[in-house]
Structure 1
Amino acid sequence: RCLRAMNVMGEEERAALLSVRRRHTTGSVAGSARRTDSVGGLELQPSVGVTRRTSTRNGRDFLRHSRSRNPSYTTIPVEEVGDRTGEGRRRSTANSTKPLALKALEVILPYYTSEERRLAVALVCTVLVLAAGHTSLSVVTSYAERDLTTALATKDQPEFFQAIVKFVGIIILAVPLQAGYYYVREILTLRWRTWLTSHLMDMYFSNDSYYRLKVGQRPLDNPDQRICEDAAAFTTRVVDLSLTLFKYTISTVSFIGILWTIAPELVIVLSAYASIGTYTSVKLFGRKLAALAYDTSLKEGNLRYGLVRVQEHTESIAFLGSASIELNIVLGMLADVVEVLSNRIKWDCKLEVYSSIYSYLTILLPTLVVSPRYFRGEIELGVVTQAAIAFSRIMDAASIVVDNLGSVSSLNAEIVRLHDLLQAMGKGHRAQSDSLQTATQGADGGGSSIQVKEDLDEKGHLMLRVTDLSLRTPPSNLRNKSHSIIDRMTWDLRLGHSVLIAGAPGTGKSTLLRAIAGLWTYGGGEIRTLRKRHMMFLPQRPYLVLGTLMQQLLYARGCNEGTPFTVKDARDALEKSNLSHLEAKASFDGEEINWENILSVGESQKLAFARLFVKRPKVAFLDESTSAIGAQEEEDLYRNLQSLCKTYVSVGHRMTLVKYHTHVLQLEARGGWKMYESKDFTCPSRSASDHF
């Protein structure tokens, strides 16, 4: 269907379809990026939602695609530039100077130094012993096969049956060894995969990494795919390739002695042939296949994410009647996947041709080298067979790279993707601080960073202290410059006080709340807060967890987890939030429900208030949390809030909110700010008395 759609499109539409991949990933962009080369240029301007690709071939636009034509998903900084076949690519993650082996160790070692290290080492030792035993049997098998062939050639019946008995004994030993080897190998892979995935998830949900990976200066594409799919594929490949290398090493050591006693010249020929073949295959195919494997994971992750976004925004798409546009977008993503997979098939085919030629040439080599000695009567026919077996086993070991180059290339990509994920989650916040300091030094001459300390006593009167706080935009990708949002702000929030943060759009109201929560790191100064479990933040669009009504209410309970919570308490919270009717839609402990499909935006905001009434934090922060609620219900909610949580900070645009707060923090353009008592505050806008 994708190909048919492309055939009936014009040149510009087809170019747009094939190029939408450059707009669709899980990250976001803080600035803009531009690069040009001999093929063309890619320009990203996320601030205005435009993606444009220009061509230098005919001096005309190759692609113009703006928000006025199609919806634009969030994007990441440019990671690839060049033609659609993959040449001329540039990746920020692949440009690291750290050797691949060192990256692999940083991904592998945590498991073998973790709390499971003893079990992990025991499993590794067990599977190595079983692998060594199974491989050693192949040496014994070569002697049994030699005796069997010689007995047949000499028509020696007693020797023939004696060889048969040896084969039966080998089978009796080989079957349990093979079964045990398979079982222990799979258990090792499963436990490692479970630990690694859990470890990545722990890091992902710690220190707000899931948030920073999306809004950082260099967002990471598809972290969910890296955690689930790349971790599973990585552990499987490492175990399989490591055991294959170990078995081949034992096989080589065992058979090279046999081969040397039969025909030393075969060892020399084999070593030279394998070295040349391995070097040539890596040189011709290694880097290209690794790049294609990386691209495959990226494009397939983008396609899956595009479909997930459609599922998350079904109502908006249905209201706009934009299903055909979304179809073209996901078909474009599918075209990306088809493109990279087609390119990968071509290179895999080339590798298959090379591997086949490489393998078939080795079939005749041992026989050609040893046969003259057999015809002269110096050796028996069984020795010729044994030489061929030994040569084949050693050749398999020497050709491990050639035979597994595709798997090794995929492992290369998985190592890079997992290492980048670990680095971003483990060191991303420090990298942001470093880049921030550089930007701030360039702007005002001194390095700084926001320090958020959760050291205030919840039993005291000081709930929040902001000291000399400056907030800035992230540094630009091009010029490494940032701009001031809030300049040198200082104020205290004391017990019983409430502050309304007001100001025109873009003056930093929501950004200030992010800084208080520790989510915004660009700027300088100090913020002192209570511990997070004594605070609660209500965003404009609340997150609704999949679950029962009771689970919705208890989702952010936090500091009151130790106290019992009854159905009566749940009904009381719903009543205070004007949501008593929800109990008629679903019982408190009934089936799990996707509440986003049931509740309106206003009901979702009231449900967030219900959670707040359940948690009863020491201080609450509300980011336009009543924007979709009517004036009367807003008044009810704030009156109930004042009775349950006397200290809170709100962001809003309505003048009616002033009467529910003791102070108003007015944010102004270019970083200015003023703090008023509510009785002294007047609306600065003359055009609308009900909005700031």
Structure 2
Amino acid sequence: MADQPDNAAVVQPVAVAVEASSLRDQVATIRRALAGSPVRKWLLWTSVGIMAVIIATSIGQVLLNRWNQPFYDALARRDMAAFLHQLLVFAMIAGGLLVLNIGQTWLNQMIRLKLREALTLDLIDQWMRPARAFRLANAGAIGVNPDQRMQQDAAHLSDLSTDLGVGLLQSCILLVSFVGVLWELSSGFVFHIGGTSLAIPGYMVWAAILYAGIASWLSWLVGRPLIRLNSDRYTREAELRSSMVRVNENVDAIALYHGEADARRRLELDLGTVLGAMRRIYTAQINLSWVTDTYGWITVVAPILVASPVYFSGDISFGGLMMAVGAFNQVHSSLRWFINNIGSIADWRATLMRVADFRIALDETDALHDTEKRIAFGQNVDGSLTFEKLEVTSPEGCTRLADPHVEIRPGERVMITGDPGAGKTLFFRAIAGLWPWGSGRIGLPSGETPIFVPRVPYFPVGTLREVLDHPNGPAPANDAD
């Protein structure tokens, strides 16, 4: 009843290409996913809470930095009473900061948890919409290993987004808090070089910005390849895991064919691609370490070198020098946020690309291309199943029924026959609405839902009653029914 494919009508119905989407598109996609999440309000209020905690922590750290001056001045004067008093002040400030740090850690973990919940639920919801998972599986590379993108990548993206977002916010607030301190300490200093006097208001602030700016630029220049390398590694890891799952699912056939050696060879090849990707990442990380570690060692003495002119001129005491060093370190640390997190940023960028592009692909599987014909569907009030000039197109060609008009009335039994490769499976997929590419019309019984038996039956994990209720979900009937 089904004719052989007509190779003159070769088409490619599904073409989802989103791997080159921009960072702006990817961020906008994740934002849309979170906007419709039931935990959106919870995330907003928690974000407000962690911002308040960070602001309070910054105030405490400013107080701790100002504590340096009287404490070290007391040491320089050998003043035991002032020394003991400052220890008490330190205990009070440190106690408050301890409570704030614990609170920030708890809020950070909760944001991680809720963000993963929102992302994973959204991806599952988009993936499990009618026929989307099937169409995505035929959409090319983007449809390979969706389980990794929804489980591992979504979790990793949630953790990285939370840690990097909170860290960036904290660095910005600390930068604003300590720039004023550093500016105040170096605002009136005048450099005397030979017979020339040079006044640079807030020179320590400019020195910190210049120092951190050069380090950031070098780190980005050296660490940028990590974005592509991390993305490639995740792809190779997914391929290795998929190969192992495939072997595990077919151990009986492999044993019957005595194919263990070939299966091992294929797994070793996949493992080799993973190890090669990891070696390239490690090489890039070593190159990045040359930059970050060099600046790390220079930073040990850089604050003292920058503040030493003010100290040797007698404008500040030893305690003032230590306060200036502390403020410089805080400003520099805030400006160094990019350097310290270049590896994590590259990892975040690669993970964002995998999750967002997967989400975009799920949306695009529903987009119908205007240049391709679609099968029309209708309802027959008489309960019959009809096919009018039905042709189903596929990458291999076109499948059509031998009769241009077929009508199957209620109660009739009909066998669909055809040579191997004639497209019988594709024909049933078209009836189910899974494969809409083609022409003609399919008329379904009005008010009825067709039931199909797949080649490989699917039974969900659960009790016998839950299996019998599939796919409609739990039924209100009792066990006796």
| TM-score class normalised by the smaller sequence | 0.7 to 0.9
Partner of 1:24 in structure 2?
Answer: none
Partner of 1:484 in structure 2?
Answer: 398
2:238 is the counterpart of 1:277: no
1:371-418 alpha-carbon deviations (Å, 9 max, x no partner): 233223221011111111111111111111111111000110111111
Partner of 2:137 in structure 1?
Answer: 214
What are the ranges of 5 or more consecutive residues in structure 2 without an aligned counterpart? 1-13, 187-201
Structure 1 position 522, deviation (Å): 2.2
Q: Sort the Cα spacing of 1:559 and 1:197 in 2 relative to 1 into closer, same or farther, 3 A.
A: closer
Partner of 1:502 in structure 2?
Answer: 417
Distance in 1, matches of 2:169 and 2:261, equals 54
2:337 is the counterpart of 1:412: no
Q: Sort the Cα spacing of 1:248 and 1:489 in 2 relative to 1 into closer, same or farther, 3 A.
A: farther
2:315 is the counterpart of 1:371: no
1:431-475 alpha-carbon deviations (Å, 9 max, x no partner): xx31xx43x4xxxxxxx222445x55xxx532423333221113x
CA contact (8 A) 2:386 2:408 kept: yes
Partner of 1:138 in structure 2?
Answer: 61
Partner of 1:519 in structure 2?
Answer: 434
Partner of 2:292 in structure 1?
Answer: 355
SS at match of 2:237: helix
Structure 1 position 227, deviation (Å): 0.4
SS at match of 1:537: coil
What are the ranges of 5 or more consecutive residues in structure 1 without an aligned counterpart? 1-75, 78-90, 441-447, 475-481, 570-692
Distance in 2, matches of 1:134 and 1:301, equals 41
Structure 1 position 300, deviation (Å): 0.9
Structure 1 position 559, deviation (Å): 10
Distance in 1, matches of 2:142 and 2:231, equals 17
Structure 1 position 296, deviation (Å): 1.3
Aligned partner (choices 255, 258, 265) of residue 318 of structure 1: 255
Structure 1 position 560, deviation (Å): 11
Structure 1 position 217, deviation (Å): 5.0
How does 1:618-629 map onto structure 2 within 5 Å? none
Distance in 2, matches of 1:242 and 1:540, equals 47
1:449 partner amino acid: R
CA contact (8 A) 1:112 1:120 kept: no
- Name the structure where helix makes up a greater proportion of residues: 2
Q: Sort the Cα spacing of 1:560 and 1:493 in 2 relative to 1 into closer, same or farther, 3 A.
A: farther
Q: Sort the Cα spacing of 1:196 and 1:304 in 2 relative to 1 into closer, same or farther, 3 A.
A: same
How does 1:26-37 map onto structure 2 within 5 Å? none
Partner of 1:422 in structure 2?
Answer: 359
Taking only the aligned residue pairs, the percentage that are identical comes to 25
SS at match of 2:417: strand
2:474 is the counterpart of 1:538: no
Aligned partner (choices 236, 250, 265) of residue 173 of structure 2: 250
Aligned partner (choices 324, 331, 334) of residue 387 of structure 1: 324
1:169 partner amino acid: M
1:619-648 alpha-carbon deviations (Å, 9 max, x no partner): xxxxxxxxxxxxxxxxxxxxxxxxxxxxxx
Distance in 1, matches of 2:390 and 2:476, equals 36
Structure 1 position 285, deviation (Å): 1.9
Q: Sort the Cα spacing of 1:463 and 1:149 in 2 relative to 1 into closer, same or farther, 3 A.
A: farther
Larger relative contact order (Cα-Cα within 8 Å, sequence gap ≥ 6): 2
1:129 partner amino acid: A
Q: Sort the Cα spacing of 1:168 and 1:563 in 2 relative to 1 into closer, same or farther, 3 A.
A: closer
1:374 partner amino acid: Y
Partner of 2:264 in structure 1?
Answer: 327
2:113 is the counterpart of 1:190: yes
1:226-252 alpha-carbon deviations (Å, 9 max, x no partner): 100111111111111111111111111
Q: Sort the Cα spacing of 1:218 and 1:165 in 2 relative to 1 into closer, same or farther, 3 A.
A: closer
Partner of 1:650 in structure 2?
Answer: none
Structure 1 position 168, deviation (Å): 1.3
2:394 is the counterpart of 1:473: yes
Aligned partner (choices 235, 238, 247) of residue 298 of structure 1: 235
TM-score of the two chains, using structure 1 as the length reference: 0.62
2:30 is the counterpart of 1:116: no
Structure 1 position 530, deviation (Å): 4.7
1:268 partner amino acid: W
How does 1:138-177 map onto structure 2 within 5 Å? 138-177=61-100
2:86 partner amino acid: A
Partner of 1:493 in structure 2?
Answer: 408
How does 1:197-208 map onto structure 2 within 5 Å? 197-208=120-131
Structure 1 position 260, deviation (Å): 0.9
Distance in 1, matches of 2:422 and 2:166, equals 59
Q: Sort the Cα spacing of 1:504 and 1:215 in 2 relative to 1 into closer, same or farther, 3 A.
A: same
Structure 1 position 153, deviation (Å): 0.9
Distance in 2, matches of 1:198 and 1:533, equals 31
1:301-356 alpha-carbon deviations (Å, 9 max, x no partner): 11111111111111111111101111111111111111111111111111111101
Q: Sort the Cα spacing of 1:350 and 1:531 in 2 relative to 1 into closer, same or farther, 3 A.
A: farther
Aligned length, in residue pairs: 453
Q: Sort the Cα spacing of 1:144 and 1:138 in 2 relative to 1 into closer, same or farther, 3 A.
A: same
CA contact (8 A) 1:152 1:160 kept: yes
Distance in 1, matches of 2:96 and 2:249, equals 56
Structure 1 position 565, deviation (Å): 5.8
How does 1:8-87 map onto structure 2 within 5 Å? none
CA contact (8 A) 1:470 1:489 kept: no
Partner of 1:59 in structure 2?
Answer: none
CA contact (8 A) 1:278 1:401 kept: yes
CA contact (8 A) 2:39 2:114 kept: no
TM-score of the two chains, using structure 2 as the length reference: 0.87
Distance in 2, matches of 1:396 and 1:528, equals 68
2:206 partner amino acid: I
2:451 partner amino acid: M
SS at match of 2:451: strand
1:450 partner amino acid: I
SS at match of 2:386: strand
CA-atom RMSD, angstroms?
2.6
CA contact (8 A) 1:135 1:250 kept: yes
Structure 1 position 199, deviation (Å): 1.6
CA contact (8 A) 1:145 1:163 kept: no
SS at match of 1:495: coil
Structure 1 position 495, deviation (Å): 1.1
Distance in 2, matches of 1:533 and 1:128, equals 55
How does 1:596-615 map onto structure 2 within 5 Å? none
